[in-house]
Structure 1
Amino acid sequence: MMWMLTTNKDWDSLEEKFDWVQDMEAVPQDPVHHAEGNVAIHTRMVMEALQQLAGYKRLPAQEQEILWAAALLHDVEKRSTTVHEPDGSITSKGHSKKGAATARQILYTELPAPFTIREQIVQLVRFHGQPIWAIERRDPARTVIETALMVNTQLLSLLARADALGRICDDRHDLLYRIDLFEALCQEHDCWGKPKAFKTPNAQYHYFNKQGSAPDFVPYDDFGATVVMLCGLPGSGKDTYVRQHYKDWPVVNLDEIRRAHKISPTDKSGNGTVVQLAKEQAREHLRKKRSFVWNATNITRQMRSQLIDLFVTYKAYVKIVYVEVPYQKLHVQNKHREAVVPKNAVDKLVAKLEVPAPWEAHEVSYYIKD
């Protein structure tokens, strides 16, 4: 069955149905880059331009729905990031990143979409400006290779073209030329419409995490222990996953450490103590080159990167396993946990969730029960 954000795509219906669409009417844009007017006008123009593109018309129906939803959501957080600068200009710095988080929250909690579809939309929103700016990045090759691991670059290019065409500005020709360069870069680096293929998992990890590494370099695999890092919201089923797949492995479990020391999950200062105790357990395993599971929420990239840096220091092979269940089931399962997390605290974590990227560890897998 094909997923659709909504069957009624009439703009008046969208405004009536979604408050975040209504909000677009009140968000101004800089007349130099958006002489057409507010975000609502621009978004409508983008969606109309998208549907006129030959590349869009050739797509399968499901991919058309994904792109249509991404176009509707691509500037959703200009409402919270738009600023009138002292020089009279209007900017919305950070709207893509914040918009991606909002898109994930909407498509997880309010308008549930299958995981793979949701994350394609999220990443299209996150990177919708990338084709215009990729050529100016310090390392354009790495920029397009990383982008292609996150999102289909062909779909991204179509969205960027619609974004450029769906506005009134003097530099439209330049914007479209930049998108042409982005497409050429993707083709040159073998990541046009597909992720670049690395020769080994360690080669991919090394490229994205070691400064100055080349994409074709293959480092020697000299691993000690394997660390399986669980990642998921409270109630997603991480403990069950461990019992089913790693029942004979040692487990560093932050919830168990909290219970042993009678520290609440909402105790911020106490959580620092929990993490330090957990890291010491991990170091003991790593020193003995003993594989183990790290079982905690790990919902942000910053949380994960600090731990992965520690594990890799001991030459560990790191595998992230992201676990997810539907939003309603999440709250049901959380209620039946031994350490129940308050509902409002879970919802705050949902808003902060950053699904692991494929390049964050040597291996990243997704265990999803849609």
Structure 2
Amino acid sequence: MTYQEMQKLVADPGQAHDMKALIELIPALALLEATPQDPVYHAEGNVLAHTDLVVGAMVNGQDYRSATENERFVLFYAALLHDIAKPSTTVIDPVTGKIGQPGHSRRGAIDARILLWRAGVPFELREEICRIITVHQLPFFALNGDKRSGKPAEFLIHKLSCEQQLWMLCAMAVADMEGRVYHDKQNVLADIELFRMLAEEEGCLRSAKQFPDTYTKLCYLRGASISPDYPFFRERTGSQVTVMCGMPASGKNHWVSHHRPGLPVVSIDDARDELGLRYGKNNGAAAHYAYDKARELLRRQEPFVWNTTLLSSQMRAQTLDFLHDYHADVQLVYLEQPEKVIYQRNNQRDTSLKNEGIRDMLFKWEVPLPTEAASVEYRINENSRKPICEPEP
């Protein structure tokens, strides 16, 4: 499957899509037909039946009609792949028979990322699709706010607008609801419309939330109880820390040697080597060693580089929270290469990590969001010499 083949199957507005050809192009879609759903929320039947209806609803929607060619590509494949992980996440209660697919959105984004990466879909389009899939159901209930953090709907809208196009997320949510048989469909569609209206009122429907400065933005999005509209005074500053992120053999060491020469480097891989540990063995000891080294640099407010894979958002959050607790100024640099390049480079490295291990790591692959640090830079593919940066709102 190639990006060019995918482009040819994107339906024009109001036209029928070719599901048979799409399944031939993406065989994983065939698994959806054998995957059941909770009949309360999906009386239309299996996941493929639902997906077929969702794509049809998307193609016939007003947002799709007014979208550009690239935007249609994003909307089309977000609709097609939004439930791609349901086969692997389906659980059926042995007592009640109730069907659930917990975590299918987050896992679906990873599955879609791997698929689109291998197809050569441009980074920006791929990540827009994956970001939609990750939170594609959020507009169903976003007006209730974030129950975990206690933040209101406005906060969710502000944060999401810095990560993706909210009008696209709304289009996806509408198509997802239109493409099902559900007794409460109209009420949910009304909630989605209210979400859209609130996003427009906040100036976030088609652009990111505007902040007075980067520090205020970072503090607000990290959960500080401050106004997003007025500068937040910074009482102290800490180390300038460059955090590297990317798969093994993606070029992190090379980037550091050229762009941060002479700076101390904190690396769990280096810690593992210094402790004489093999890759994947006693990671706790290696991490403890690296964190101790970083802590000393942070206390002295010295600049340094944190260099490791940090593929999952959970692992990044642990590291970034640690650095932000010391008031560090963090620049997050994400590097990515084609799969073939990574395996070729890894074969040429002196490492105990095999290519099979890298393939296993793909299922934890979550590209950093632009809200994870004050500065997030994306460097994509080995011949790219210019950084792809998220524009400041």
Question: What range describes the TM-score normalised by the shorter chain of this pair?
Answer: over 0.9
From the superposition, tell whether residues 217 and 345 of structure 1 become closer, same or farther in structure 2 (CA, over 3 Å): farther
Q: Give the aligned residue type for 1:37.
A: G
Is the Cα–Cα contact under 8 Å of residues 108 and 133 in structure 2 kept in the other structure? yes
Instruction: Note the 1:94-173 alignment, pairs <5 A.
Output: 94-109=103-118, 111-138=119-146, 139-173=152-186
Is the Cα–Cα contact under 8 Å of residues 278 and 352 in structure 2 kept in the other structure? no
Matched residue, 1:280 = 292
Matched residue, 1:227 = 241
Residue 307 of structure 2 is aligned with which of 283, 295, 298?
A: 295
Measured after TM superposition, the shift of residue 178 of structure 1 is 0.9
1:345 correspondence with 2:340? no
Matched residue, 1:237 = 251
Measured after TM superposition, the shift of residue 180 of structure 1 is 0.7
Measured after TM superposition, the shift of residue 140 of structure 1 is 0.9
Is the Cα–Cα contact under 8 Å of residues 251 and 294 in structure 1 kept in the other structure? yes
For 1:150, what is the secondary structure of its paired residue? coil
Instruction: Note the 1:29-40 alignment, pairs <5 A.
Output: 29-40=37-48
Q: Give the aligned residue type for 1:16.
A: E
Q: Which of structures 1 and 2 has the larger relative contact order (alpha carbons within 8 angstroms, sep 6+)?
A: 1
For 1:162, what is the secondary structure of its paired residue? helix
Gapped regions of structure 1 (runs ≥ 5): none
| Aligned residues between the structures | 366
> 2-side partners of 1:223 and 1:3: how far apart?
48
Is the Cα–Cα contact under 8 Å of residues 28 and 84 in structure 2 kept in the other structure? yes
> 2-side partners of 1:281 and 1:253: how far apart?
9
Is the Cα–Cα contact under 8 Å of residues 231 and 322 in structure 1 kept in the other structure? yes
Q: Percent identity?
A: 34
Is the Cα–Cα contact under 8 Å of residues 163 and 371 in structure 2 kept in the other structure? no
Q: Give the aligned residue type for 1:252.
A: V
Is the Cα–Cα contact under 8 Å of residues 7 and 73 in structure 2 kept in the other structure? no
> 2-side partners of 1:130 and 1:53: how far apart?
19
From the superposition, tell whether residues 77 and 250 of structure 1 become closer, same or farther in structure 2 (CA, over 3 Å): same
Q: Give the aligned residue type for 2:295.
A: R
Measured after TM superposition, the shift of residue 87 of structure 1 is 4.3
Measured after TM superposition, the shift of residue 37 of structure 1 is 1.2
Q: Give the aligned residue type for 1:242.
A: V
> 2-side partners of 1:175 and 1:197: how far apart?
29
From the superposition, tell whether residues 82 and 261 of structure 1 become closer, same or farther in structure 2 (CA, over 3 Å): closer
> 1-side partners of 2:352 and 2:198: how far apart?
49
> 2-side partners of 1:310 and 1:184: how far apart?
37
Matched residue, 2:205 = 192
For 2:108, what is the secondary structure of its paired residue? helix
Instruction: Please report the TM-score for the alignment, with normalisation by the length of structure 2.
Output: 0.88
Matched residue, 1:7 = 8
Matched residue, 2:65 = 57
> 1-side partners of 2:344 and 2:262: how far apart?
28
Q: Give the aligned residue type for 1:338.
A: D
Matched residue, 2:269 = 255
Q: Deviations over 1:272-294 (max 9, x none)?
A: 22211111221221121110111
Shifted more, 210-219 versus 115-124: the winner is 210-219
Matched residue, 1:210 = 223
Measured after TM superposition, the shift of residue 3 of structure 1 is 5.5
> 2-side partners of 1:191 and 1:58: how far apart?
18
Instruction: Please report the TM-score for the alignment, with normalisation by the length of structure 1.
Output: 0.93
Measured after TM superposition, the shift of residue 217 of structure 1 is 4.4
1:182 correspondence with 2:160? no
Is the Cα–Cα contact under 8 Å of residues 244 and 306 in structure 2 kept in the other structure? yes
Q: Deviations over 1:41-77 (max 9, x none)?
A: 1111111111111221111111111111111101111
Matched residue, 1:80 = 88
Q: Deviations over 1:92-145 (max 9, x none)?
A: 222111111111121123x22111111111011111111111112242111112
Residue 305 of structure 1 is aligned with which of 305, 317, 329?
A: 317
From the superposition, tell whether residues 56 and 84 of structure 1 become closer, same or farther in structure 2 (CA, over 3 Å): same
Is the Cα–Cα contact under 8 Å of residues 232 and 299 in structure 1 kept in the other structure? yes
1:26 correspondence with 2:38? no
Matched residue, 2:101 = 92
Gapped regions of structure 2 (runs ≥ 5): 10-16, 147-151, 385-393
